[in-house]
Amino acid sequence: MRLYPLKFVPITKYRIWGGDKLNRFVPKKLQMDRLGEIWSISGVEGDLSVVENGELKGRNLKEILEEYKEKLVGKEVWEKFGNEFPLLIKFIDAADDLSVQVHPNDELAQKKHNSFGKSEMWYIMEADKNAALTIGLKEGITKKDYQEYLTTESLEKILNKVKVQKGDAVYIPAGRVHAIGAGIVLAEIQQTSDITYRIYDYNRIDKDGKKRELHTESALGAIDFRPFANIKAEYEPIENQFKSLIDSQYFSTQIFEGNKEFRIQNNACMRIYICTESAAKFITESNTTKLSKYESLVLPAEVSEFTIQPLNDTRLIEVTIP
């Protein structure tokens, strides 16, 4: 059997800060109060995505990867990652502020957790007026400064806040302090890792009446205190063309906006598509798959050519692994 565009059953996650905006985009049986995350494509053990379309329906991502190998992910990705699917794709609805957190890099994550690190990017799909992200610490803050503000429980004074709007894109390398602010819905592309060090949580109480655990010492060893710039990606969409969005050593992304059908000659490369506006059809020699807003799919490396047929004014993010 030849592979085809694969869609997966959404994995829904309760979060203390979650809202109700994502419930519109999942089956009724998966809806819940405080739906904070949809895991759209996941190779994380315990949360493996299950195919929802075509001949492979009901099989999980790990099984398919083990069977089809480079036919699914491409030769270079297979040789590098083997049976570990390298990316995790999520949608996040922050009705309340998320905790301030940091993720370890590859070296630290391997040493402490036998895992990949966690670098990620966010694409803003919805944002209330004056909604903001926390991205890093204010300029000039040192490790010593950070420890002093942490001790006096005044960490919020040194967090770097960035107002965002629909269409903004941000890269967050491992080691950078960050948090999603209330009133933001976004798509997240990240390394396959679920390791988070929680730094600060506003003394919030969880559903069991307890404060959530903080990971103060682990976070201190993971934070990158070096200065940084260029928080938001600078890009100008070109109608009916893919335009470079964010590139990193872990993933490259392009964005498409338009309504014109076009054909792609694939170069034995796995591509992931995320629909952030309207819908599109992906047409191969033997299959047609519709992708709607708040959905994503895997276009296997084995598919040599395919057509993307936008429906109305469509916006897509294409993700590849360099």
Domains with residue ranges and CATH for the chain: 6-222 (2.60.120.10), 242-320 (2.60.120.10)
pLDDT tens-digit series, residues 162-204: 999 999 999 999 999 999 999 999 999 999 999 999 999 988 8
Name the DSSP class of 54: S
For the segment 55-70, the average pLDDT, to the nearest whole number, is 98
pLDDT tens-digit series, residues 19-33: 999 999 999 999 999
For the segment 112-123, the average pLDDT, to the nearest whole number, is 96
Label the pairing between strands 132-137 and 305-320. Answer: unpaired
Burial classification of residue 118, based on how many CB atoms lie within 10 Å of its CB (0-12 exposed, 13-18 middle, 19 or more buried): buried
Sequence-separated contacts (24+) of 83-86 with Cβ below 8 Å: 84/43, 84/116, 84/192, 85/41, 85/42, 85/43, 85/61, 85/192, 86/43, 86/116, 86/191, 86/192, 86/250, 86/321
End-to-end CA distance of the chain: 27
272, 192 contact by CB (below 8 A): no
In this structure, the number of other CB atoms found within 10 A of the CB of residue 287 comes to 17
Give yes or no for residue 205 having a pLDDT over 90: no
Mean pLDDT of the residues in the chain: 96
Q: How far apart are CA 219 and CA 238, in angstroms?
A: 40
Position 220 confidence tier, pLDDT thresholds 50, 70, 90: very high
Give yes or no for residue 124 having a pLDDT over 90: yes
Dihedral sign for Cα atoms in the order 127, 195, 222, 211: positive
Task: Specify whether the backbone of 82 is left (phi greater than 0), alpha (psi in -120 to 50) or beta.
Answer: left
Q: Which residue has the higher pLDDT, 271 or 203?
A: 271
For the segment 239-258, the average pLDDT, to the nearest whole number, is 97
For residue 18, what is the enclosing H or E element?
strand 11-19
Q: Where are the alpha helices (DSSP H) in 114-260?
A: 143-151, 216-222
Which of 15, 24, 176, 198 is catalytic? The answer is 198
Which of 83-87, 179-183, 212-216, 253-257 is the least confident region?
Answer: 212-216
Distances (CA, A) of 47 to 38, 50, 262, 276, 319: 11, 9, 34, 23, 21
For the segment 118-127, the average pLDDT, to the nearest whole number, is 98
Can 198 be counted among the known catalytic residues? Answer: yes
Q: What are phi and psi of 63, to 5 degrees?
A: -60, -45
Residue 62's pLDDT is 98
- Retrieve residue 111's tokens: 């040493």
Position 230 confidence tier, pLDDT thresholds 50, 70, 90: confident
125, 316 contact by CB (below 8 A): no
User: The pTM is what?
Assistant: 0.96
Q: How far apart are CA 267 and CA 60, in angstroms?
A: 25
Give yes or no for residue 307 having a pLDDT over 90: yes
pLDDT above 90 coverage of the chain, percent: 93
Residue 223's pLDDT is 98
Residue 212's pLDDT is 87
50, 58 contact by CB (below 8 A): yes
74 contact partners, CB below 8 Å, separation of at least 6: 268, 269, 270, 301, 321
Dihedral sign for Cα atoms in the order 187, 299, 282, 247: positive
In this structure, the number of other CB atoms found within 10 A of the CB of residue 228 comes to 15
